[in-house]
Structure 1
Amino acid sequence: MPDLHEPNLLILLNDVARLIRTQADRRARAHGMTRAQWMILVRLRRCGGMTQRELAEILEVEPITVGRLVDRLAARNLVERRADPADRRVWRLHLTPAADPVLAEIDQVRIAFDAEATAGLAPERRQAVVEALLLMKSNLLAAGEAGAAA
């Protein structure tokens, strides 16, 4: 029988992820937005021109939820919908120039949050954690693809 006080990697990862989400929610609210809105802006900076469906898959929410979030971002002139040149039924999402200062603010909060979360973690240990998490992510993606193919 496993020792319940012994750290379990998957439980610990879940706990850390939950704490990150909770803190990120709090910090986004302090800036008048939601974590989900911040995530949309950051994702669109990485890959502009995504559809609401693509964003919904990444954020693990329903497309209608992303639609409402995008509506709010568009009302603030941070995101705009543009028609897809190949399919008139599809709208592509793009950042507007007004999103730049908001993204700069998000970056400042992220850097401070990262420093707070990793305080006391030596750079080489941090790199080892990143590498381990990337390997775990790769393993899980491969397992998911294998399961989908079966």
Structure 2
Amino acid sequence: MPDLQEPNLLILLHDVARLMRTLADRRARAHGMTRAQWMILLRLRRCGGMTQRELAEILEVEPITVGRLVDRLTARGLVERRADPADRRVWRLHLAPEASPVLAEIDAVRLAFDAEVTAGLSPERRQVVTETLLLMKNNLVAAGEAGEAA
């Protein structure tokens, strides 16, 4: 029987992720937004022109949820919906120019948050942790794809 007092990697990963989400929620609220709104802005900066459905899949929420979040971001002038030239039923999401200062603010908070979370990690340990997490992510993606094929 396993020792329940012994640290368990998967439980630790879960706990770290939960604590990071909780703190990120607080930081976003302190800036008048939600973590989900920040994630939408960051995703659109990386890959503008996505549909709400594509964004919902990435964020792992329902399209209606993304729709409401985008409505709020649109009302603030940060996101624009543009018609898809190939399909008039589809709207593509793009950052508005007014999103630039908000993204700069998010970047500053992210850098400070990263420094806080990784305090005490040498660059070498940080690299090992990053490589380990990437390997675990790839293993999970492969397992998911294998499960879909079965």
Tell me how far 1:87 sits from its aligned partner: 1.0
Tell me how far 1:117 sits from its aligned partner: 0.4
- TM-score, scaled to structure 2: 0.99
Matching residue of 1:88: 88
- TM-score, scaled to structure 1: 0.99
User: In structure 2, what is the Cα distance between the partners aligned to 1:17 and 1:83?
Assistant: 36
Superposed CA deviations along residues 64-117 of structure 1, whole A, max 9, x for unmatched, are: 000000000000000000111111111100001100000000000000000000
Tell me how far 1:27 sits from its aligned partner: 0.1
User: In structure 2, what is the Cα distance between the partners aligned to 1:58 and 1:20?
Assistant: 19
User: In structure 1, what is the Cα distance between the partners aligned to 2:77 and 2:65?
Assistant: 18
Matching residue of 1:136: 136
The residue type equivalent to 2:144 in the other structure is G
The residue type equivalent to 1:71 in the other structure is D
Tell me how far 1:25 sits from its aligned partner: 0.2
After TM superposition, the structure 1 = structure 2 runs for residues 18-33 of structure 1, keeping only pairs within 5 Å, are: 18-33=18-33
The residue type equivalent to 1:115 in the other structure is A
Matching residue of 1:42: 42
Give unmatched runs, 5+ long, in structure 1.
Answer: none
User: In structure 1, what is the Cα distance between the partners aligned to 2:147 and 2:38?
Assistant: 32
Tell me how far 1:23 sits from its aligned partner: 0.3
The residue type equivalent to 2:143 in the other structure is A
The residue type equivalent to 2:85 in the other structure is P
Give me the identity figure in percent. Answer: 87
User: In structure 1, what is the Cα distance between the partners aligned to 2:84 and 2:14?
Assistant: 38
After TM superposition, the structure 1 = structure 2 runs for residues 91-106 of structure 1, keeping only pairs within 5 Å, are: 91-106=91-106
User: Hey, which bits of structure 1, 4+ residues long, moved more than 4 A?
Assistant: none
The residue type equivalent to 1:92 in the other structure is R
Matching residue of 1:111: 111
Superposed CA deviations along residues 129-148 of structure 1, whole A, max 9, x for unmatched, are: 00000111111001101100
Q: How many residues align?
A: 150
The residue type equivalent to 1:131 in the other structure is E
After TM superposition, the structure 1 = structure 2 runs for residues 49-68 of structure 1, keeping only pairs within 5 Å, are: 49-68=49-68
User: In structure 2, what is the Cα distance between the partners aligned to 1:118 and 1:111?
Assistant: 11
User: In structure 1, what is the Cα distance between the partners aligned to 2:86 and 2:149?
Assistant: 29
Task: Say whether residues 1:147 and 2:117 are aligned partners.
Answer: no
Question: What RMSD over aligned residues (CA atoms) do the two structures have, in Å?
Answer: 0.5
